[in-house]
Amino acid sequence: MSAKRRNVEAMEAAEVSDPAEGSDSSGSESEEEDAELQTFVNQRVLVDFEGRCPTQTDYHGIRQLLQTSLPRAHVSWGELADTIIGQSYVGSVLKQCEEEGPDADDDDEAMDADSDKEVFGITTVVNLTQRQELESVQQLKRALLGRCKESGAPPEVRQQLEAVLSSTDDHCGWLVNERFVNIPLPICVPLLTALRDEIEEAVQKQMPYKFSHFLLISKLHKSDRKKAKGKKGQEAAKKQEVTWVNGEEEILDKAAECSFEFSVAAETDTAVDGAWTDRDTRLIPFRRVMLLPVAALLPALEEIRSAVQALPS
């Protein structure tokens, strides 16, 4: 593995369906056209992803991914993107890679040539304690504390969050785990494993990555409670369906010391939240902020790895 390429790779395979399947052929197409079409039918499209050290060309992609954490929050996401790029020894950006030669790992020129490809994900950690002088970090902390108060979280949760974010002795790391919604779940294992290893290596080098807690801002969707009516409806509301955007974060949530959540329906207008009809079960976008003791990350990562391995191939 070169200094720029992370040992983080995954493959997504999708089957291309036959557009003529189940239809009555009019015979207007020539046999030659049919033969050409068949070359693309029932094929598997393979897309390779790889983890790379963040570089300046990734600035806009990283910034856009960070913004989705707290939509429309008054936070200087650009400054945080620059911070992540400046600590490229920890964390990875996820990019699509092209097939390269056997010596590609040592071919820095080839890697620089496609360094401006779209960023599909970012997995890293930002030391909110060590970086507390940054305006963006102060803004992020204020936004989180404000959301915690507005959410009606129990007083003990608010007190613990404030204590962790204001401490100067015990460091808190913002665990950034963002990726496009169509990226396959298994990619999270090598990304998180690489991050864990890089944090451990940084600590051994006396770098400021020794944390007491990780803070994670997770995306999830819930079914609309307003549609619940009567006794059965109330029971259904209690068993409200929750869909995690990043499935592995459901396991991290179980390991959290405390958490709170809030709706971002008023701030989110992306297509992922949908356009609903009366027959649909409307899903409301939420954010769940959780504090994880640093010791909980390793067992949670093992549980995530086991869950991914159990997925049908």
Position 270 in a domain: no
Q: What is the pLDDT of residues 72-131, one digit of tens each?
A: 999 999 999 999 999 989 999 999 876 555 555 555 555 555 556 799 999 999 999 999
Position 61 in a domain: yes
Q: What is the pLDDT of residues 133-188, one digit of tens each?
A: 999 999 999 999 999 999 999 999 999 999 999 999 999 999 999 999 888 899 99
State what percent of residues in the chain have pLDDT above 90: 63
Residues 68, 62: Cα–Cα separation, whole Å: 10
Position 247 in a domain: no
Position 260 in a domain: no
Position 101 in a domain: yes
Per the structure block, which two tokens stand in for 52?
A: 């790379």
At residue 240, the pLDDT reads: 72
Position 162 in a domain: yes
Average pLDDT, whole number, for the chain? Answer: 82
Q: Looking at the 3D structure of the chain, how many domains does it have? A: 1
Domain span at 161: 5-16+41-214+289-309
Higher pLDDT, 209 or 35: 209
Among 31-40, 135-144, 215-224, 246-255, name the one with the lowest average pLDDT. Answer: 31-40
Position 185 in a domain: yes
Q: Cβ distance 174 to 144 under 8 Å?
A: no
